[in-house]
Amino acid sequence: MACIGRESAVFLVDTSAWIEVFRRGSRLTVDQLVDDRDLIVTCPPVIQEVLQGFGDERAFAVARTAMLALPCVALPLTLPIIEGAIDIYRRARRQGVTVRSSVDCLIASCAATYDLTVVHRDRDYAQIAKVIALNHRDIGRLVKDA
């Protein structure tokens, strides 16, 4: 588990972690990601990324209900959140740090603005944490053990 700084008491579960939970045949559960489900929030970019990945309509409907039941930060997305994402990406580039997804910068901006810990399986967040103060938890080890 990789963490930068202190962990926030509230967790923004990234698309990469939800994919591991929703994956057919996965033994990883939401309860393994965080100790208390009531401490999970989401944001618009995560909702979009998660739901656009479903091909099966029944699975989509179940996931949609679950995702929309979560508290949602940064709704609607505001200009300061968007400008924060732009700043993250530009700072990383200036410092020679590779961030593969600008959407991850948007999610990180939401997390930083609301003091959330990003729960993920995505190397971009460790990269982003090199350029801003970002609390994050990599679930890679959990996935391997599940």
| pLDDT score of 79 more than 60 | yes
Give residue 146's pLDDT band: very low, low, confident or very high (50, 70, 90): low
| pLDDT score of 4 more than 60 | no
Residue 23 has what pLDDT? 86
Contact 125, 1 (CB under 8 A): no
Residue 5 has what pLDDT? 46
User: What confidence tens digit (pLDDT) does each residue in 85-124 have?
Assistant: 999 999 999 999 999 999 999 999 999 999 999 999 999 9
Measure the CA–CA gap between 43 and 52, rounded to whole angstroms.
14
Residue 111 has what pLDDT? 98
| Mean pLDDT along residues 50-59 | 95
Provide the mean pLDDT of the chain: 93
CA dihedral sign, ordered 43, 17, 84, 5: positive
pTM of the model: 0.92
- Domain boundaries in the chain? 11-145
Residue 6 has what pLDDT? 54
CATH class of residue range 11-145: alpha beta
Range list of H helices, the chain: 15-22, 30-33, 44-52, 57-69, 79-94, 102-113, 124-128, 140-145
